[in-house]
């Protein structure tokens, strides 16, 4: 059974407390929180005050996905607002090894996200330092996009790399995920599934999460 991480980007920001409560009462283990800076990606989402508030309203894991340049500047701030897992983009980090160590030094789990064009092989020399790899199955920046089919291939390759290295790393998939592709992703090696629009646009989000859990 995969870990389910509803992405709050697709929630109703006018009734955020209600959507947080829905996730709290669901089988989802994590909140997926997308931070966009308008530079690394062509969109701006939300930041620390929202995450801080969500942290005060839940006991679940806060899985923070940073789509920002120079993430090193904010590592300790995200710890302060309650991040449990902090994921940075490979493409945004010149000194990735240092960034990973800085996240872990703050007591958070360290994740690295890969854009669709970035091969998993770039993580070979840091795979044993990581807690999580986030494979983007859409180009980051927006919810509701179409799933990129090559993702299955990347998940299998990453799974193999992790096994060969004897590493303990969670494989998380983000973008265009729903009941239509969840089983196939898990078969390929996925451990955690992010779902935004599929969950929050569902007629019954709680039930939809339960269906994803069954996949
Ligand atoms: C996209 C974000 C995703 C987004 C996924 O850049 O990283 O987490 O919320 O949304 P859906 O599930 O609608 O593709
Ligand atoms: Zn995300």
Judge whether 34 is annotated as a binding position.
yes
Range 7-45 burial, b when 16+ CB lie within 10 A, else e: bbbbbeeeebeebbebbeebebbbbbbbbbbeebbeeeb
Structural domain range at position 19: 3-214
Cα–Cα distance for residue pair 108/183, rounded to 1 Å: 29
Number of independent structural domains in the chain: 1
189 labeled part of a ligand binding site? no
Q: What is the pLDDT of residue 170?
A: 99
pLDDT at 152: 98
Nearest ligand atom owner, CA of 180: 1
Q: What is the predicted pLDDT for the residue at 73?
A: 98
Residue 172 CA to ligand 2 center (angstroms) comes to 10
Report ipTM (2 d.p.): 0.99
Q: Is 119 buried (19+), middle (13-18) or exposed (0-12) by CB count in 10 A? A: exposed
Residue to substitute in 4, 5, 7, 114 for testing ligand 1 pocket (most ligand atoms within 8 angstroms of CB)? 7
Residue 174 catalytic?
A: yes
Q: What is the CATH number of the domain that holds 39?
A: 3.20.20.70
Q: What is the pLDDT of residue 44?
A: 98
| Residues contacting 126, CB < 8 A, separation 6+ | 96, 97, 100, 112
C-alpha 44 – ligand 1 centre gap (Å): 13
Query: Catalytic one among 34, 37, 63, 191?
Result: 34
Q: Look at the alpha carbons of 165, 191, 16, 23 in this order and tell me if their dihedral is positive or negative.
A: negative
What are the backbone angles phi and psi of residue 56, rounded to the nearest 5°?
-75, -15
Beta bridge partners of 7: 32
Q: Phi and psi at residue 76, in whole multiples of 5°?
A: -70, -30
For every one of its 215 residues, what pLDDT tens digit does the chain have, with 9 covering 90 and above?
A: 999 999 999 999 999 999 999 999 999 999 999 999 999 999 999 999 999 999 999 999 999 999 999 999 999 999 999 999 999 999 999 999 999 999 999 999 999 999 999 999 999 999 999 999 999 999 999 999 999 999 999 999 999 999 999 999 999 999 999 999 999 999 999 999 999 999 999 999 999 999 999 99
Classified as helix, coil or strand, 112 is strand
Q: Which ligand is nearest to the CA of 145?
A: 1
175 assigned binding-site residue = yes
Q: Which residues contact 77 (CB under 8 A, 6 or more apart)?
A: 48
Residue in the block written with tokens 């969670």: 170
């Amino acid at each position: 059974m995969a870990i389910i991480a509803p992405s709050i980007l697709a929630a109703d920001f006018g009734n955020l407390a209600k959507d947080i409560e829905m996730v709290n009462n669901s089988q989802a283990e994590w909140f997926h929180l997308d931070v966009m800076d308008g530079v690394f990606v062509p969109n701006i989402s939300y930041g620390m005050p929202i995450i801080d508030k969500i942290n005060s309203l839940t006991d679940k894991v806060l899985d923070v996905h940073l789509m920002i340049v120079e993430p090193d500047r904010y590592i300790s701030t995200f710890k302060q607002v309650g991040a449990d897992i902090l994921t940075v983009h490979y493409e945004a980090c010149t000194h990735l090894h240092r960034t990973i160590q800085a996240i872990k030094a703050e007591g958070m789990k360290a994740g690295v996200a890969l854009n669709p064009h970035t091969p998993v092989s770039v993580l070979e020399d840091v795979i044993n330092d990581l807690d999580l790899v986030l494979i983007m199955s859409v180009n980051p920046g927006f919810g509701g996009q179409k799933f990129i089919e090559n993702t299955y291939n990347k998940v299998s390759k990453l799974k193999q790399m992790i096994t060969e290295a004897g590493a303990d790393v969670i494989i998380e998939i983000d973008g265009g995920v729903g009941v239509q592709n969840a089983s196939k992703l898990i078969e390929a090696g996925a451990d955690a599934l992010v779902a935004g629009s599929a969950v929050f646009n569902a007629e019954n989000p709680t039930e939809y999460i339960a269906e994803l859990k069954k996949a």
